Amino acid sequence: MKSSKLSPSIHDTALATRIRGSRGRVFGTISIPVWLFALLVLIAALVAIDRLLLPGVRLLLRKRVNRVVDEVNTRLHIELRPFQLTRRQLLIDRLVHDPKIMESIDLEARQRGASRDLLQSQVRAYAKEIVPAFNAYIYFRIGYWLAKSLARRLYRVRVAQMDDAAFRAIDPAATVVFVMNHRSNMDYVLVAFLIAERTALSYAVGEWARIWPLHTLVRSMGAFFVRRNSGNPLYRRVLERYVYMATREGVCQAVYPEGGLSRDGRLRAPKLGFLGYMLRDLDLTRDRDIVFVPVGVNYDRTLEDRTLLRGLDPDAAPRGRLFAVLTTLRFIGHNIGLMLGSNWRRLGYASVAFGTPISMREYCAQSTGDPLTDVAPFAELLMQRIARLIPVLPVAAVATVLVGRIGVPLTRETLLELTEERVDALRAAGAVVGIPRYTQRYSIAEGLEMLVLRRIVVQRGDDYVAPPESREILAYYAGAVPAEGEAPHENRVAIR
């Protein structure tokens, strides 16, 4: 058969292939564009990589992950649970077919007249959004290193209190839940770094962490995404069942009862949602115990302080995500410039205090009511314990003195003496003080210097003055510390 001739042009270049029979006879010609040929080659290469190369890479990574799991389980007080090591797709399927979720789908279908298949697909989308993809190698080899490096680069990290004996006495089979105040988004990094030698934490994170490529790292660290203000009952049911499932399987978690960052420096009223998710269907006769560890966190400088205060102003113009990104990049660039010029200094202390664990089984045995259905009294107890644990730091201590003396000039010596007296009084009253005794005067002076550098306090000759425009930010830092006349456990508890 005579082959046709190709007429290549500038606009359509083609490749011709002669197809021969078994005796070498040419019986046809196929012409394809170069772009299509290149696409076929690329697809073939991807298939070869997927079938030949990736299985070996997956096997190598799986061996490394297994070695990490075996290693960390020998030194962790609370071992990694099988639930955390289960394939993510299996957890999603298990969550989607949870009996209580199926009941919610049936109820929604009857009330709204919606298709069950449509509701089922929505549930699967919610489950994919929520369920993490924990990777022990990333958590303990990459995440731990990043958290440690960032925390120590920014702050002088200090554990103000740790009841080590009580922590070691926790039943290793129990579910441990760290409940803490939410001071900054650095809380995730700081506490995960400090507790990594004892266990791996699973956090609930908001929309801020869903930015690419951050969301992949966050999810592989065991965090699960939460829509903070979602009123969708089906979504809330999926979230509830995931939290209950993880709690029942013994996953160690970190929870912020306030539900969000403190905007004025004081503890916010607790939201009862997560506690209800954990406790509502708990059966202490057959389920593992839940042990709550109260935690107090504080910083000499909160990275988001001015942004949080701006959120309290109803007349402030809204700022979008782009502004937040640019502001963050500007802050990073400014500090890198200071580092290169050898002028950079850390942002003071970052301190964490761990309180005495509370066993839910023991609490229920001593309670006269039903804490598993009415969680408000237990939430109030947790908030009081957290309030007592928030460490007193130099900037907060100086702020408590200045916030009541706006516009009043004070000499350096007078200001330092008043602050030391306040710190000593708080220590005597039982507050957790994150300032070392042997460097107390020096640390307080450093806190004052930080306020001067940030122009929150103005130095005029030998005097220091807090101008009226600094009232809000001084009140923010003073809000983490009991005011004069308040007991440590009364300092920031606002219970609805």
- What digits encode the pLDDT tens for the residues 362-408? 999 888 888 888 899 999 999 999 999 999 999 999 999 999 999 99
Retrieve residue 5's tokens: 């001739």
- Is residue 269 located within the same domain as residue 240? yes
Q: What is the pLDDT of residue 77?
A: 77
- Is pLDDT of 299 > 90? yes
- Is residue 37 located within the same domain as residue 53? yes
- Is residue 298 located within the same domain as residue 308? no
Q: Considering the domain boundaries, does residue 490 fall inside one?
A: no
List helix spans (H) across 113-158.
116-130, 136-137, 144-154
Q: What is the pLDDT of residue 253?
A: 93
- Is residue 226 located within the same domain as residue 360? yes
- Is residue 383 located within the same domain as residue 413? no
- Is residue 131 located within the same domain as residue 180? yes
Q: Considering the domain boundaries, does residue 234 fall inside one?
A: yes
CATH number of the domain at 371, please: 3.40.1130
**Between the CA of residue 400 and those of 17, 112, 153, 312, 485, what are the distances in Å?**
84, 55, 27, 20, 12
Over residues 126-131, mean pLDDT: 93
CA distance 223 to 233: 22
Summarised one tens digit per residue, pLDDT across range 258-272 is: 988 999 999 999 998
Q: What is the pLDDT of residue 248?
A: 93
- Is residue 120 located within the same domain as residue 236? yes
* Cβ-proximal residues to 443 (8 Å cutoff; 6+ apart), any chain: 349, 394, 435, 436
Question: Which domain does 58 fall in, by range?
Answer: 1-75
- Is residue 176 located within the same domain as residue 62? no
Over residues 319-334, mean pLDDT: 67
Q: Considering the domain boundaries, does residue 488 fall inside one?
A: no
* Cβ-proximal residues to 78 (8 Å cutoff; 6+ apart), any chain: 170, 172, 176, 198, 199, 252
- Is residue 259 located within the same domain as residue 124? yes
CATH number of the domain at 435, please: 1.10.10
- Is pLDDT of 177 > 90? yes
- pLDDT-wise least confident of 55-69, 110-124, 133-147, 475-489: 55-69
Q: Considering the domain boundaries, does residue 486 fall inside one?
A: no
Picking from 30, 59, 75, the residue at the C-terminal end of a domain is: 75
Q: Return the beta strands (E) in 88-231 as ranges.
A: 156-162, 175-180, 202-205, 224-225
Q: Considering the domain boundaries, does residue 487 fall inside one?
A: no
- Is pLDDT of 140 > 90? no
- Is residue 206 located within the same domain as residue 309? no
pLDDT band at 10 (very low <50, low <70, confident <90, very high): very low
- Is pLDDT of 462 > 80? yes
CA distance 380 to 337: 45
Q: Considering the domain boundaries, does residue 494 fall inside one?
A: no
CA distance 52 to 325: 41
- For residue 179, the one-letter residue type is V
Q: Considering the domain boundaries, does residue 323 fall inside one?
A: yes
Picking from 16, 41, 75, the residue at the C-terminal end of a domain is: 75
- Is residue 380 located within the same domain as residue 411? no
Tell me the chain's radius of gyration from C-alpha atoms. 29
What share of the chain in percent tops pLDDT 90?
46
Picking from 356, 389, 422, the residue at the C-terminal end of a domain is: 389
Over residues 233-241, mean pLDDT: 94
- Is pLDDT of 61 > 70? no
Of 336, 353, 351, the closest CA to residue 393 belongs to: 351
- Is residue 50 located within the same domain as residue 149? no
Indicate the number of domains in the chain: 4
- Is pLDDT of 241 > 70? yes
The alpha carbon of residue 342 and the mean position of all alpha carbons in its chain are separated, in whole angstroms, by 31
Q: What is the pLDDT of residue 310?
A: 85
CA distance 167 to 56: 41
Over residues 83-96, mean pLDDT: 92
Q: Considering the domain boundaries, does residue 489 fall inside one?
A: no
